[in-house]
Structure 1
């Protein structure tokens, strides 16, 4: 497993942010290859990159000659290739809980607010900015309501989404809270999510993965 890890990433992509957290939690060294999703009409559409990821999306992880796409698949690959520390719990029941929390973000909230969706609204349907903002907030708030209920009412929730060590669900939650704040979502109704976010961001693995700390960050 000594081959180089190379992460094709965009500083503000929440899916790439998830993977950066996972790599950092594992203590893995990796090279960041910026893919600017706006510049040059979107560098994810350039032919050399599309060969690596035909979906025209980030992140993409290259490990030696292997190429892995989709953030959750990448995170599970990391967990299987480097089992310690674990991103997923030991028991099937607990793994199912953590995966379900992660997928609320990765499968239900994030895709509706992804850049390509927002660009389609703007460029094809000419949806006004105020209506696009309402769309973004609507689906984040609905998803966060479910997450707040699931996390606040389950004794399996600890300092983090599951117990006392951060894992896969936290890798997904923290970037989505970043997105929520970016788009002006009022977090007052989600105290458990905020508490977990703050506990995570106090850790170097999460702090180093923040968008503003990336080599391609635009300030």
Structure 2
């Protein structure tokens, strides 16, 4: 998945680029709107993350020119401005999301993945991996066609894992997303709940879905 990051604040640009690269994305970056437009017109990107206030050309002008040329590259706007009129203007230009600074990196990742699912036409109210299906609207979980019962926290954990299926998630990332940044109980709780899920999902099945990546964290994938 190839992304373009256009953000004139170098420190933020560097952080976003490094973190997205670490997450497995192919990332190009630039620091002004004119450069962003040039890259988007003459190269194929799966998604662009654009700051609105940039030198030479604003993020909104980049998108206006991009659409005029017939390019429909999905866009996420970053901005320090948070008014209803700004949001409406950005969305009317065809932006998929409008993220207000400061933002959490997990939020950016979630928005990127949501845009990619939309662009691929795979947006549904369910997520499937192997014989496991998670219905995100009703919170019903089915394994091999049969409903399984999960507690609220088990569901929250499984949903985060399923949305990020195929990606290795550290215990720290899971803890902060599922239990919140202010949770003070330590990351042992992650192991406890992963064991709960394993008993309900992987126990007695040849096709294992929850995997430990030693020294790093966990990943959801099909493996026999």
Same topology, TM > 0.5: no
Structure exhibiting the larger radius of gyration computed from Cα positions: 2
Q: Which has the higher contact order (CA 8 A, sep 6+)?
A: 1
The structure carrying a bigger helix percent of its residues is 1
Q: What TM-score results when the alignment is normalised by the length of structure 1?
A: 0.31
